[in-house]
Chain A
Amino acid sequence: MSLVSIQNLTRVFDVSKPWLNRVIERLPKRYLTAVSDVSFDIPAKTTYALVGESGSGKSTIGKMVVGLLPPSEGGVTINGIDLAIETDDDKIESVRSDIQMIFQDPYASLNPRWRVRDIIQEPVVARGGKATGLAERLLEQVGLTASDADKFPHEFSGGQRQRICVARALASEPKLIVCDEPTSALDVSVQAQVLNLMSDLKDEFGLTYLFISHDLTVVQHMADRIGVLYLGRLVEEASPDALFDAPQHPYTQMLLEAAPRMDGFGREVEPPKGEIPDPIDPPSGCAFHPRCPMAVAKCSAERPALKTVGESRVACWVAQGDT
């Protein structure tokens, strides 16, 4: 059974000007749809990766999965329990402690005035649990030493801080960890260390990851299944091999083509056309059609649904052969 099931998840933000400006300037209310009708499942003990460019809604989905943001429509079910509508406190409490999150910036996500021991123990202590020796054990597990527990975050480098974040996420023995760009702020050699650590821990503790990243090479390495987002919608979902060998959605193809390659010496890329459209006023039909080299008349008129094509799911009329 899937550990996480996301059904028709939608999040709309109100980005209107203050009411007085609206009255004086006669402006209507404005809404930004950050995530629109996204559905996918994450089976237990696998890594599901979300990729997309800025503004594609990947972090918003992550925040809704951990419950930092309520969805506007649809829901997130974890272990069969939807946190947004569940009323039984015991059930909510049990699911909550199963979810943890790792953030992008290890400088901003650790309290500079707390000792590392307190930071790591907090998820357990906050629930009234006993945490004697927990921080020391976890620190050794993530490749630091037990004596680091008495230090402050500023005494560590970026990679070491991210290890502390991982240790904190592990403290409450979660099943699901949402990682929002966990290595984007790190150098390549440190990134390799942290990614290896995350793979090892996944095997050791049977963890499930929702891995959010913009870096295609990292995603290819880590994920069991990849969802590609464009303007808040899932446009393609496939296994890493299928996605990188035979991308079906033109947007995925464009992303893969545009990504710099280590073996692309002197490669002349035809750079992608255009930019991501304004999410407040997205294009009609398929949101990618103004930039799409394969667009046909139907693309600007009707929005394609996410349908199974071969092993993947694709939202594109051309790939579905339905033009």
Chain B
Amino acid sequence: MSAEPVLSVRDLVVEIPTRGGLLRPVDRVSYDIGAGEILGVVGESGAGKSMTGNAVIGLLDRPARITSGEIWLNGERIDQLSMRELRKRRGKQIGMVFQDPLTSLNPLIPIGQQLTETIREHLPVTAAEARQRAIRSLEEVGIPAAAERIDSYPFEFSGGMRQRVVIALALCAEPSLVIADEPTTALDVSVQAQIIALLKRLCRERGTAVMLVTHDMGVIAETADRVAVMYAGRLAELGPVREVLTEPHHPYTSGLMGSTPLASKGQPRLHQIPGSMPRLGALPDGCAFNPRCPKAQDKCRQNPEPRIGPADPRAACWFPLGETA
């Protein structure tokens, strides 16, 4: 990892004003991603995983907006840029891979044209050069007979092949950061393995920083270098993937790991976390996890949990597991 992180997020807050009051889907989240590093972001639905990714590339839907915090990309602050300025950076500096490959490609335009358009928008090349580059990037993501298939439409490809095209599209302008939001959730296991292997290889070869948003702990374990666990819009735990998954410090991470069928192998019942994640409009006082936490004490009910960042302790918890008895 280089000294200067590619992406640096500090105390990011996203708020949505509603009739019922102000909601905070992302609440003071801080993390770094270095070059060539894959940061996994996990959490259950509504934990704010996708919202953090969308905030970074400025794709928040109104009325959601960033109300405080800083986002630095390659040493430049990007959270206050205008839409026009940000647009130049999307694609060029940040690539995006979404969950559903069919909705992220224009169904009416051949894939080659979508690729060359993106390339020419960001790089000073001629149409012929752009086409050559497009073919090369399709070959790189493993599309057979790329030169012949470049003029095909998205519907002529299978789901896995489409996701490869989307990855080619995200990487064609050689961005330094890729945000992959549930890139394999819509795919079958065997195709998922292909796409994950592809993403890992390309990022290693180019030193691209990747933010991988997913709910699948298995994918995170195999792919990510570090992992950020989110709960109710806040960072619950942040650290190297092996340590976080094998020796979680936050009771939520521990509960989440325990409730996967694999962890309870050979036991008749799965471990379960009581209750469900609170709605953003009805967060409990103190630590957001305290009503479900087996170790909650008065301090947890009265004080908001400590916030964590790249340099701080690993778990946002007053009584982290593994440290105090």
Contacts and interface: CB of A to CB of B under 8 A. Distances in A.
Contacts of B269: 196, 199
A302 interface: no
Interface in A266-290: 266-269, 271-272, 275-276
B190 A188 contact: no
Given A54-B188, A188-B259, A221-B264, A271 B197 contact: yes
B272 A188 contact: no
B271 interface: yes
Given A190-B276, A259-B189, A265 B241 contact: yes
B202 interface: no
Interface of B: 44-45, 158, 160-161, 188-194, 196-198, 215-219, 221-222, 241-242, 245-246, 255-257, 259-265, 268-273, 276
A221 B264 CA distance: 8
A160 B256 CA distance: 18
Contacts of B161: 275
A216 B189 contact: yes
A157 B276 contact: yes
A268 B44 CA distance: 26
Interface in A259-315: 259-269, 271-272, 275-276
A218 to B, nearest CB: 5
Contacts of A271: 190, 193-194, 196-198
Nearest to A259: B189
B264 to A, nearest CB: 7
Contacts of A81: none
Contacts of A239: none
Nearest to A158: B45
B222 A255 contact: no
B261 A195 contact: yes
A159 B190 contact: no
A53 interface: yes
A262 to B, nearest CB: 5
B218 A259 contact: yes
Contacts of B221: 260-265
Contacts of A265: 221-222, 241-242, 245
A214 interface: yes
A187 interface: yes
B262 A189 contact: no
30 contacts: A188-B259, A189-B44, A189-B255, A190-B44, A192-B260, A192-B261, A192-B273, A195-B261, A199-B268, A214-B188, A214-B189, A216-B189, A217-B260, A220-B262, A220-B265, A221-B264, A255-B190, A260-B196, A260-B216, A260-B219, A260-B222, A262-B257, A263-B221, A264-B218, A264-B222, A265-B242, A272-B193, A275-B161, A275-B191, A276-B188
Nearest to B242: A265
B273 A189 contact: yes
A254 interface: yes
B187 to A, nearest CB: 9
A187 B192 contact: no
B259 A191 contact: yes
B216 A217 contact: no
A269 B189 CA distance: 12
Contacts of B198: 271
A53 B189 contact: yes
A266 B241 CA distance: 10
Contacts of A216: 189
A258 interface: yes
Contacts of B194: 271-272
